[in-house]
Structure 1
Amino acid sequence: MKKNVASIIFLLLLVTQSCTTKKDMLYLQDMDAHSNKNLSFVMTKIQPNDILKIDVSDLNPVVAAPFNLNVGSGSSSVQMMELSGYLVTPEGTITMPILNEISVVGLSPSKIESVIKNRLIDEGYLVNPTVQVRVLNNKFTILGEVRSPGVYPFTEESISLLDAIGMAGDLTYSAIRKDIQLLRETNGKRMVYHIDLTTAAWMSNPDFQIRQNDVIIVVPNKLKVNSGGLIKDPLQVIGVIASLLAIILLISK
């Protein structure tokens, strides 16, 4: 009897451990095949509800001052700058001092800089201005099988998917690495991308760089789904099975 129970324990542990293989778990398994490839980047395109920080400067600060928002003292924090920045309206516009309404939706920050600079010169306000535009509320949302789901801010125009996953503490053991879902709203449309992290092929696609307001969804494997979320780690299954069989073994004595 003991011999039979021990055999059952061994077989169950073997089956449980084989549910997830290295092929399902390891990132970028063909990295060498995709090395030395040229990288391409896509500029951020401004969307409604973005908050912009716009600085206009000139050799004479006095003449440039009217074109800058007076944000007051103590406004160095990101939260204060967001409150005092230019909120892009649902119509895709901002309103600047003196220049009034400017259409910005669908433009990159560098393009907006050119538009504002040209208006300042063409309308005779400044001779040689410098304009800087930045998005203050860059953020992405990551949900599902990561260690710390939530909303994360970033200061760059874009970050990599691996950066985003790293900020969330990496994927859990229950995550399906072959189908990471990326949701993005562009030009009034919602796009859904499916990314396989076990290969490096996706890294050459600029669409898979994380941008403002992206949502990343990491779906759980069948074991996690069937357990109703009770199993956080496949190793728990091994522990539970071992405990139950240990009890059976003691009773069989």
Structure 2
Amino acid sequence: MKKIFLSIILLPLLMLESCTTKKQMLYLQDLDKYANSTINYTSPKIQPNDILKVEVGDLNPLVAAPFNISTGNPAAQSSVDMMRLSGYLVNPQGTIMMPILNEVKVGGLTPANVETKIKERLINENYLVNPTVQVRVLNNKFTVLGEVNAPGVKNFSEESISFLDAVGLAGDLTYSAIRTDIKLIREVDGKRLVYHIDLTSASWMSNPNFRIRQGDVIVVTPNKLKANSGGLIKDPLQLIGIVASVAALIIVIAK
């Protein structure tokens, strides 16, 4: 009787252990096939709600000063939070309002495009002879939700970061995460785009669309065990432990 009971208990445990295979768990299993492949980079385009830092320079700082926003506090200029508060917020029409130049259309352009555009206006409208212009997005961030160890909003200072960098900032995927279909949601020019990424393969790594940009959202779906348990079972090993404990208790009582 006890042997039959133990068989009934152990069978589902063995099935549970085999429900997640190595092929479903390991990252970039075909990475060697994509070694030495070309890495493509594209500069992200500025979108509404981006916050820009626009800095105009000249050999004579005094003539460039009227085109820059002054915080009045030199220490505040080194604070990212203060720079965001004093930066240019891109409105829904894709424009910013600069001193003297007034409205400047920046939506849909790269930061380098905006630098060229402002520089040309300064020269063509006879404000400055040989200005320098630097444009940078100050509020680069992405959101990661679902089966990661540290979900939430993550900030970054680069124009874009790799998808693997984003996974690392989120503390890696949990054991219960589906690695073959991770969703990347992005808004570009008023449209919502959805990409699907299989982290068990390296085939996506050279695609510039899979670099994380300002405002991206990553969604990691749980496997069936986690989803069907309503989140009560955090890890398959937890369920194994629960079932084993119950089995041991029944055996003790049976004796």
TM-score normalised over the length of structure 2: 0.97
Matched, 1:88 2:96: no
Equivalent residue letter for 1:65: A
* TM superposition score normalised by structure 1: 0.98
- Looking at structure 2, the residues matched to 181 and 222 of structure 1 have their Cα atoms a distance apart, in angstroms, of 17
Distance across 2 between alignment mates of 1:231 and 1:13: 15
User: Shift in Å at residue 78 of structure 1?
Assistant: 1.0
Pairing of 1:1-253 with structure 2 (within 5 A): 1-73=1-73, 74-75=75-76, 76-253=78-255
Provide the C-alpha distance between the structure 2 equivalents of 1:181 and 1:101, rounded to a whole number of angstroms: 37
Unaligned 5+ residue runs, structure 1? none
| Structure 1 residue 12: Cα displacement | 2.9
Displacement of 1:188 after TM fit? 0.6
Partners of 2:118 and 2:226 lie apart in 1 by 53
1:167-190 Cα deviation digits (max 9, x unpaired): 010000110000000000111110
Query: In 1, Cα distance between the equivalents of 2:115 and 2:165?
Result: 28
Question: Aligned equivalents of 1:213 and 1:39: distance in 2?
Answer: 23
SS of corresponding position for 1:204: coil
Cα distance between partner residues in 1 of 2:9 and 2:253: 15
Give the unaligned 5+ runs of structure 2. none
Deviation at 1:2? 3.0
Matched positions, count: 253
The residue type paired with residue 7 of structure 2 is: S
Cα distance per residue 1:119-159 (max 9 Å; x no partner):
11111111111100000001100000011110111111111
Question: Bigger shift: 30-39 or 7-16?
Answer: 7-16
Q: Secondary structure at the match of 1:102?
A: strand
| CA distance, structure 1, for counterparts of residue 223 and residue 244 of structure 2 | 22
